[in-house]
């Protein structure tokens, strides 16, 4: 179906569309953190770069990065149309991610970036292990969900 608006008008309309967040991926991480009894985190605190999760006591900032928007080496794809625009935009996203990470680290924060695809059932255990290691917990701690632990 052909667009009913001229190119300039469509561009103006689309420029007004704002992101609605990565709620689905964030909720997947919330579910994993709760399953593994990891507490002490807050969502969307006032901190440079707007991390998705923060453990203030441990000075750990966690970002959940979408594979498309942040250029995942495994899953990133390039749109077929308007290629120059998308290459520039996605490159700016990567540059901003590096700036945010560098700035937070200079401020004494540990930064953990989790790819969207790591939140699957298959990658969840590795993701939880990375979070625990970042929190300074022993990597030998059980990574089984709390509900799977034996009840005494």
- What CATH number is attached to the domain comprising 102? 3.40.960.10
Read off the pLDDT of residues 42-83 as tens digits, 9 standing for 90 and up.
988 889 999 999 999 999 999 998 888 788 888 777 888 888
Is 41 a member of any domain?
yes
Is 2 a member of any domain?
no
Is 12 a member of any domain?
no
- State the pLDDT confidence band at 3, using cuts at 50, 70 and 90: confident
Which pair of structure tokens corresponds to residue 98?
A: 């590096």
Is 14 a member of any domain?
no
Is 142 a member of any domain?
no
For the sheet containing 60-65, what is the strand order? 42-43, 53-55, 60-65, 110-115
Kindly state the helix (H) or strand (E) to which residue 64 belongs, with its residue range.
strand 60-65
Is 143 a member of any domain?
no
Is 101 a member of any domain?
yes
Residue 103, domain extent: 20-137
Domain count for the chain: 1
Q: Identify which has the larger pLDDT, 121 or 15.
A: 15
Read off the pLDDT of residues 74-120 as tens digits, 9 standing for 90 and up.
877 788 888 888 889 889 999 999 999 999 999 999 999 998 888 88
- State the pLDDT confidence band at 16, using cuts at 50, 70 and 90: confident
Helices (H) and strands (E) in the chain, counts: 5, 4
Q: What is the pTM of this model?
A: 0.75
Q: Identify which has the larger pLDDT, 21 or 50.
A: 50
């Amino acid at each position: 179906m052909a667009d009913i608006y001229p190119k300039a008008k469509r561009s103006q309309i689309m420029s007004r569309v704002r992101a609605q967040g990565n709620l689905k991926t964030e909720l997947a991480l919330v579910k994993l953190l709760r399953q593994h009894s990891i507490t002490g985190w807050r969502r969307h605190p006032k901190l440079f770069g707007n991390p998705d999760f923060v453990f203030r006591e441990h000075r750990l900032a966690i970002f959940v990065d979408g594979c498309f928007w942040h250029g995942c080496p495994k899953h990133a794809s390039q749109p077929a149309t308007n290629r120059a625009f998308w290459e520039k935009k996605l490159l700016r996203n990567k540059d901003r991610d590096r700036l945010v990470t560098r700035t937070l680290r200079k401020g004494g924060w540990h930064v953990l970036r989790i790819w969207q695809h790591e939140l699957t059932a298959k990658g969840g255990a590795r993701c939880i292990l990375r979070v625990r290691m970042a929190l300074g917990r022993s990597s030998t701690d059980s990574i089984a969900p709390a509900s799977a632990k034996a009840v005494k």
